[in-house]
Amino acid sequence: MLELPVLGLLKERSMHGYELRKQLGAMLGPFYQVSWGSLYPTLRRLAKAGAVEKAEPAPDKPKTAGALTGGRRKTVYTITSQGEAMFLQMLEETAAAVDAEHFTLKLAFFRYLAPEARLALLERRRAYLQEKLAQFKSNLRTYRERMDGYALSLQNHDMRATESDIAWIEELITNERNLNEVRPNTQS
């Protein structure tokens, strides 16, 4: 799961592990925490696949004025051309793009997709959410009498959240279509 956002961030600039972890948290929000135990194995897999390269920069400046050492060296990771191709392939893949986590990761890098691909992914996500909303409504009709107040409250909350997500996706679709209509006229 981390390969896509790691490659996407390295596409923008080279970084060391600490900076990558910090940028992933900033990009994906406080609910998406990346552990060192998942980040460094991901970086090793990407390096083994030839998608990233490691470089050892000059050591950091010492933290204290009296320090005798040159500081700790940080490995900087850079995306390779093979990594660029891998990133684009993962981004364009639509099979796993409908669940919340995959969609969120792809949305963070939508600027690298062609407009038609962005629109297709948005429409797939909307269809998925509409199906989930229909399931919520069906469950409520079938099981309402057997649900306690808490279970009913949870179902209602999830339904409202799904309706809100559908409205948001529809707004993104409208904006994308409007951008597509404007682009041909601006190139004349």
User: For residue 73, what pLDDT is reported?
Assistant: 72
Strands 15-16 and 76-79: antiparallel
Alpha-carbon distance of 62 to 121, in angstroms, equals 48
Tokens of 91: 């981004």
User: For residue 188, what pLDDT is reported?
Assistant: 44
Cβ atoms within 10 Å of 49's Cβ, excluding its own: 13
Q: How many CA atoms lie within 13 A of 33 on its CB side?
A: 4
User: For residue 63, what pLDDT is reported?
Assistant: 52
User: For residue 35, what pLDDT is reported?
Assistant: 82
Q: Which amino acid is at 76?
A: V
Whole-model pTM: value is 0.78
**CATH classification code of 3-60+74-107:** 1.10.10.10
Q: Terminal CA-to-CA distance of the chain, rounded, Å?
A: 41
Tokens of 23: 């940028």
What residue segments make up the domains of the chain, in order of their start? 3-60+74-107, 114-186
SS3 state of residue 79:
strand
Answer positive or negative: Cα dihedral of 77, 83, 89, 95.
negative
pLDDT in 10s for each residue of the chain, 188 residues = 789 999 999 999 999 999 999 998 888 777 677 888 889 999 999 999 999 999 866 555 555 554 455 556 789 999 999 999 999 999 988 766 678 888 888 899 999 999 999 999 999 999 999 999 999 999 999 988 888 999 999 999 999 999 999 999 999 999 999 987 776 554 44
User: For residue 184, what pLDDT is reported?
Assistant: 57
Partner residues linked to 129 by β-bridges? none
Alpha-carbon distance of 46 to 163, in angstroms, equals 37
Q: Dihedral angle at the C-alpha atoms of 39, 16, 99, 119, nearest 10 degrees?
A: -160
Determine the length of the chain: 188
* Among candidate residues 53, 6, 52, the one with its CA nearest the CA of residue 27: 6
User: For residue 153, what pLDDT is reported?
Assistant: 93
Tokens of 173: 């679709």
